[in-house]
Amino acid sequence: MSDLTIVFTTWPNHEKRWEYFMTCAPRVIKMLKASNHKIEYACVSESARDPLHTWYGPELKNFCISKNIPLTFRNAKPNLGAMMNSAMEFNSSPLMMIVQDDWYITEECDLSPGIKLMQDHSQIDIIRYSWPESLGVTVKGEFAGWRKLDPNGMWPYGDDPHIRRSTFVQKFGEYITYGHHGASEGDMVYRFGNRDAFILLADKCYFGHCGEVSAVINDERERAVSR
């Protein structure tokens, strides 16, 4: 069994979304390491198509075959919360990291110190390797030399990359699958506060976001590019 599974989530229903995936996934595979632990990969994709744009499902299949990454297409209505739930179902390790297709790693990162810390201290719920630096998070002391976040402070949770346990659902529940796109992430922020999540930060923020074109055809949020 691997120590950690990295699950890519994607929706290749637009040429820019496919570009984002091909910016994100190869970089993660090349630059995200675990020097003393075993990592494996999986990929979960939406299957609904945008009739106005090219479908890149075949290209996604070929990429996953070339990297020996198991790929599953969701045969259900596209939904971010449901996608995150599906990603957790395809984890086969005690720890996992979900990487959505528009989060790209900015420099090399060794996950082994974080993996070992979570193996040694069962009270840690997640270690974040990305957070909204422009909006800010609320640091509340430290643990074993790592910064600890206030679960009732600013942005204690985000869908951006972090290590979590396979028991995440048992403590925090499944993601909601109703409301506007992105509601599931906001709901989880409140759950982290209500359930006193134990959150640590990596030494620096290792990921950036490149998704100006939404995965969703009719996204309610403000985007630099709409469709």
* Residue 226: inside a domain: no
pLDDT of the residue at 116: 98
pLDDT of the residue at 217: 58
Range of the domain at 185: 4-209
* Residue 145: inside a domain: yes
pLDDT of the residue at 211: 73
pLDDT of the residue at 133: 85
pLDDT of the residue at 195: 97
pLDDT of the residue at 224: 46
pLDDT of the residue at 219: 46
* Residue 158: inside a domain: yes
Tokens at 132, concatenated: 């909204």
CATH number of residue 14's parent domain: 3.90.550.10
pLDDT of the residue at 134: 78
Count the domains in the chain: 1
* Residue 217: inside a domain: no
* Residue 119: inside a domain: yes
67 vs 80: CA distance, rounded Å:
25
Q: Tell me the pLDDT of the chain (227 aa) as tens digits.
A: 899 999 999 999 999 999 999 999 999 999 999 999 999 999 999 999 999 999 999 999 999 999 999 999 999 999 999 999 999 998 889 999 999 999 999 999 999 999 999 999 999 999 999 999 877 899 999 999 999 999 999 999 999 999 999 999 999 999 999 988 789 999 999 999 999 999 999 999 999 998 776 666 554 434 444 44
* Residue 222: inside a domain: no
Question: Is residue 194 classed exposed, middle or buried when 0-12, 13-18 and 19+ CB atoms within 10 A define those classes?
Answer: exposed
* Residue 223: inside a domain: no
Taking each helix axis from N to C end, the angle separating 57-66 and 15-31, rounded to the nearest 10 degrees, works out to 10
